[in-house]
Structure 1
């Protein structure tokens, strides 16, 4: 059957192409993709090409479909999986397969599997690793965003704390402790924030630090500290560390002078890493979450405190299937709203340019709907485009009525009113 997809041919060479999908094998599943959210990891993949650890050497001959945060409908199921999956099921996937020690992953490594496509084929290893997940919710975008949410959830679970002389780690952020999210007003930081405020193992204090005041202001609108305190009992603060004469002193003062039990660092920038290290308290755990493209990236941290203050530094990339399931369950229960990450929507025709220019486009997550044709559009700009296309007015009405956030009603309207690309 015919499919359209954004495919990687070489570094900085993404092409929207139509091609023939082969018939599925007995151990494969054919799916119709509806939504894919674009990840900074996809930008890194697209700009590095074969230098990326997940991209195969013959990508020029066998181009890889981009996108790994996708959801849609199952179309056809190979005989091996017919007892578990049925045509018509909504699905999402956990792309971190960890299959037999390989780094291959949907959205990076496969000629016929990725999210920036109208249709794709899930290879056998996706099912063998239990990474094909049925989604029973209404909105496809929520399932797409379960993957980036699972990455932050994994970071919370991977944190650990210690006791002097005891050689066992207590896993997870410190319950009732103090949490700082540094460079945290971007899309992934907001995902971490909504999880921190509504998960089962919660801190008592969350401080979000960032140097972008516009992003901090938007975060404070989405998460008003007084309302959060009344709802959860958690103290929430937003601090522009770029406007502080002494950011370390300001943030440590915000912690009550003790430093933070847990620090999540969301930018691969040396001064940000050093700041994150400096604000930890005793037995503090620093998760360096943001993956750098520079293989030689390094930053000064305080090894005196590593030795005497039991500071520990670790990093996570992606979540596991349990994290993904937790994200889906929390979203279905309306405990977390992943739409706080989304600032733009567009069609498949916008995916290639959006991916290659991702660091230059302000805002949060860029959400692609693969069966429509639509330029990448900021949610804040929907109203201004209504004069040229009246469909935008209806979309703007829905988004504005929902505090400027994407929502299931907006998705329904979009899918009903925009033309199919196939």
Structure 2
């Protein structure tokens, strides 16, 4: 089977190449990748190359396929797994494998297994760990975005609270509490706001900060305060630049109580320290955004740790249960992964997009691997549609959904390119 893939050879050495996949073994599965959403973690992989803890030391000789937020169709199943999987089924996959202590993961470690390709081979450890899942939904992008949503869900599930009566830890964010998301109008932050509204045990207030008014304005458009109010949550979008003392203003929103749960969605020292200062009694600070600096340090108030039971943790990725929950909520319409997506492109644009990801504004960049299309912002569809029938049609379909990507637009795009 021939495949076309974006492969990493070393630091900033990314190539789009066509090559032959080997015949699958009895314990492997061949899949057709249809969509892959690009993660900031892939950018970090490119700038670190073999220095990345998940990338093989010999990547310059045996390149790996980039991308780990992908979905598609099962094409061929090895004998070992034919009782569980069938050709033609849609699949989603959890890339956080942790197989027998190995850090190997798709998008970082495998020569034939990753998301930025047309076809790839899923190795046996993925099925053994239950990380390959049949997806019953009617869009591929929702399955791709199940992985980043599982990271959001994992963060919420991993937060915890204590009490003075015993040593039990109550897992999850505090019900009826104050939730603060610092730097929270990027794609993951929007996913977190949306997920908070889908919880049975909801916070009573969610405060989301960002210093970009453009990002705040988009967040208000796609996730308005009124929508969250209907779900019993007071949502507050907060620009620190609007206040002489933004920290005091944030504290005032809680009437001096502080925040029971704080998520730091941008790896910035000042934000982490501010989040620590804003914690309520027994407050939990989750350093969610992954830094690239191994010596990333910030000051914490140990007096509060001792006397007011504040605690600090971090999460990276989600587990199988988190992914199953993400896919289930999306299929039921209880969360909307489209909130994350701001750009669409083909495989030809995946490499350069990943290399330049921090410099491209907006949210998630969604790649359809069997088409050729320059990376294009959804907000630019209207202007491009004046001279291009494809973008004209996509603009009309997105406008039906408040300017968001959707299954109708995906179906039209894939049919247009005969995928």
TM bucket (normalised to shorter chain) is over 0.9
SS in 1 for 2:162: strand
* Structure 1 alignment gaps of length 5 or more: none
CA distance in 1, matches of 2:294, 2:16: 30
The residue that corresponds to 1:327 in the other structure is 326
Q: Report the secondary structure of 1:167's partner residue.
A: coil
> In the alignment, what sits opposite 2:142?
142
- 1:149 is paired with a residue whose SS is helix
Partner Cα distance (1:83, 1:65) in 2: 28
Deviation digits for residues 252-293 of structure 1 (CA, Å, limit 9, x no counterpart):
111221001001110111111111111110000000000010
Q: Normalising by structure 1, report the TM-score.
A: 0.98
Match of residue 275 from structure 2: 276
Indicate the larger mover: 236-245 or 46-55: 236-245
Q: Deviations over 1:139-181 (max 9, x none)?
A: 0000000000000000000000001252121111011111011
Q: How does 1:258-269 map to 2 (within 5 A)?
A: 258-269=257-268
The alignment of Structure 1 onto Structure 2 pairs a total of residues equal to 419
Structure-1 separation of matches of 2:381 and 2:226: 30
**2:367 matched to which residue of 1?**
368
| 1:221 positional shift | 1.3
Q: CA deviation at 1:237?
A: 0.6
Q: Is the 8 A contact 1:38 1:368 kept in 2?
A: yes
Computed over aligned residues only, the root mean square deviation of the Cα atoms, in angstroms, reads 1.0
Secondary structure of 1:275's counterpart equals helix
Q: Which residue of 2 aligns with 1:21?
A: 21
Q: Quick one: distance in 2 between partners of 1:279 and 1:368?
A: 38
Is this contact kept in 2: 1:71–1:93, CA < 8 A?
A: yes
1:167 aligns with 2:167: yes
> 1:297 aligns to what?
296
**How far apart are the structure 2 equivalents of 1:256 and 1:83?**
58
Shift of 1:27: 0.4
Partner of 1:82: 82
Deviations 1:88-116 (A, max 9, x none): 00001000001001100011100000000
Q: How does 1:222-241 map to 2 (within 5 A)?
A: 222-229=222-229, 231-241=230-240
CA shift, 1:390, in A, is: 1.7
Find the aligned partners of 1:371 and 1:291 in 2 and give their Cα distance: 31
SS in 1 for 2:74: strand
C-alpha displacement of 1:389: 2.1
Who is 2:157 aligned against?
Answer: 157
Offset of 1:200 from its aligned partner? 2.2
State whether structure 2 residue 175 is matched by structure 1 residue 182: no
Alpha-carbon deviation of 1:399? 0.7
Structure 2 CA distance for aligned equivalents of residues 388 and 110 of structure 1: 41
CA contact (8 A) 1:211 1:243 kept: no
Partner of 2:401: 402
After superposition, give the CA deviation of every residue in 1:292-329 in whole Å (9 maximum; x if it has no partner).
Answer: 10111111222221111111000000000000000000
Distance 1:362 1:167 in 2: 45
In 1: Cα distance, 2:77 partner to 2:199 partner: 35
Aligned to 1:97: 97
- Whole-angstrom distance in 2 between the partners of 1:259 and 1:374: 47
- Residue number in structure 2 paired with 1:40: 40
In structure 2, runs of 5+ residues without a counterpart are none
Q: Secondary structure at the match of 2:34?
A: strand
Query: Partners of 1:297 and 1:72 in 2: how far apart?
Result: 37
Indicate the SS of the match to 1:359: helix
Q: In 2, are the aligned partners of 1:373 and 1:419 still within 8 Å (CA)?
A: no
SS of 1:226's equivalent?
A: helix
Separation (CA, whole Å) in 1 of partners of 2:171 and 2:241? 32
